[in-house]
Amino acid sequence: MLSPEDEIRLRHMLDHSREALALVEGKARRDLYSARVLSLALVRLLEVVGEAAARLSQKTTSQHPTVPWSQIVSLRNRLIHGYDSVDLDILWEILAGDLPSLVRELERILADATD
């Protein structure tokens, strides 16, 4: 059972992840370099995903060990504190390789919580 606060945080993670995926749909890695507003938006969306993950209770994160919570929070920290050295190639790899599976996992967690 999720607390109301954790459910809200998971929904924030899901919504912002989906929005990031929608922004890169039909785009290529090189677009991150040529479209500054796109890269800035994606960085911000992933910062929110990480911040929401950081605010989840220990109970919720321990109940869902398949989600790489610490990596998500670490990404947020790197984006915030290393704002002047964001590697857009790594950002693209996260968007293309990791974010779709995170969305699926968050959808599953939230669906299970409402059953």
Residues annotated as catalytic are 76, 81
Token pair for residue 69? Answer: 């919570």
Contacts of 63-70 with CB under 8 Å at 24 or more apart are 64/105, 64/109, 66/105, 67/102, 67/105, 67/106, 67/109
Tell me which DSSP letter residue 72 carries.
H
**Cα dist from 7 to 3, 55, 57, 71, 106, whole Å:** 6, 11, 10, 20, 10
